[in-house]
Amino acid sequence: MNTNSHPALVGSLSSTAPSEEVVNFSPGPTSLPKAVEKKIAEGFQKPGLTSLAMSHRTPEFQAILDHAVNTARQVMAIPDNYEILFTHGGGHGQFAALPLNLCKNLTDIASYVVNGTWSERARNEGDKYCSAQTIDGKDPVTGLYTHFPELTEEAIHPDSKFVYLCSNETVNGIELHRLPKLPASRQHIPLIVDASSDFTTKPIEWLEAGVGVLFACASKNIGHPGLTMTVIRKDLLGEDKASPLCPGVFNYTTNSDAGNLWNTPATFNIEVVGHVMNWLEQEGGVMENERRSIEKSQLLYDVIDNSNGFYGTPVTNKDLRSRMNVPFNIKSGNEELTNKFLIESWELGIIGLRTLTPFGVGDYLRASLYNGISIKDTEKLSEFMIKFQKENI
């Protein structure tokens, strides 16, 4: 086969390896934990209606919804003064929904920490509905996103309706392992967190960090695409808070008052979130999940750091390295070796290291280590990386 047309080089996930040997390192949507997939399959084998065919107005679905909300609250220690909503439109929907709910006027100011692809997109979308002020995280020399800017009093506009950040930048490989605290003079400003790619992999300092809204798309760590969990501090709700332009489907207060049932929710996806939360609880909770996340990512970073430059990663500050998305290149991006790596790993069932995105294929491959990836799965990749280096020095 002509290697230039090999499926691995165009992002194919259909490896020729036996299905039981395939490990999906995609950046999302990605695989669920095996135990959750088994639970879902068992549900479809039982007689009667599944949540795919269940009216959201029935007591049967209300029980599913209550379970998903209550288990998420328990697993993630979400305080009672926060509302949990299941929203539509993914992260991009929340990029618009946040300023539409928290900024009544187009002239209202919001501060955006921009230190990667997704926070940049959020700022650009938010600027349509408010006056978005940028706290710039670009390296002044390289122009690349490789660090997180300091949140000083001077950096945050005092009239900001909110301060926005993304706790894990999947493309750039930058993660905040704990949320920052705003300066004392700015702690009245609610912190907004895009936690789409790291939610459930570490505890959230809801009150200590002053979280106002936190949202997480389901398709990385808690379920399937088509659903976003949005957690809102209740003092930010109220019809007087939102822009008159805010559509009902995005309006936090409207959906809170309707108990998550203002319009038809993604019924099956909500049930899956409940299954994932059960799995997390059974596996030791969020602290144990964080321990696993640290162990998985360290397996790969150790290979990279001990490779004498054969592998490289863009984030040199180890305190900011993402545990969820490990970007790496081979011999500073050598195209021939990179293609060889992708083909050989794909044929072994290691898939998802390169996917086609709106941003192209990028300068780095990425191994995404979400909840569906086990320590054993990660060991398979790390062992292949070591073997590949020995054979291609």
Which residues are tagged catalytic? Answer: 118, 194, 220
Distance of CA 297 to CAs 21, 203, 266, 281, 370, Å? Answer: 20, 17, 32, 22, 10
Helix ranges restricted to H, 76-195: 90-102, 117-126
Residue with tokens 């209202």: 108
Q: Give dist(CA 264, CA 217) in Å, integer.
A: 18
DSSP per residue over 288-300, as a string?
HHHHHHHHHHHHH
The angle that helices 59-75 and 267-282 make with each other, rounded to 10 degrees, is 40
Residue pair 164/119 in contact (Cβ under 8 Å)? The answer is yes
| DSSP-derived 3-state class of residue 38 | helix
Sheet holding 365-368, edge to edge: 311-312, 325-330, 365-368
Q: Give dist(CA 93, CA 315) in Å, integer.
A: 29
In terms of residues, how long is the chain?
393
Please give the sequence-ordered ranges of beta strands (E in DSSP) within 137-253, or none if there are none: 163-166, 168-169, 174-175, 191-194, 211-217, 228-233
Number of Cβ within 10 Å of residue 281's Cβ equals: 13
Q: Give dist(CA 370, CA 269) in Å, integer.
A: 17
User: Distance from first CA to last CA of the chain, Å, rounded?
Assistant: 24
Residues sharing a CB contact under 8 Å with residue 319, sequence separation 6 or more, in sequence order = 177
DSSP state of 89: S
358-381 exposure pattern, b = at least 16 Cβ within 10 A, e = fewer: eeeeeebbbbbbbbbbeeebbebb
Take residue 223 and report the two structure tokens written for it: 């379920």
Listed residue (226, 227, 230) closest to 254, CA to CA: 230
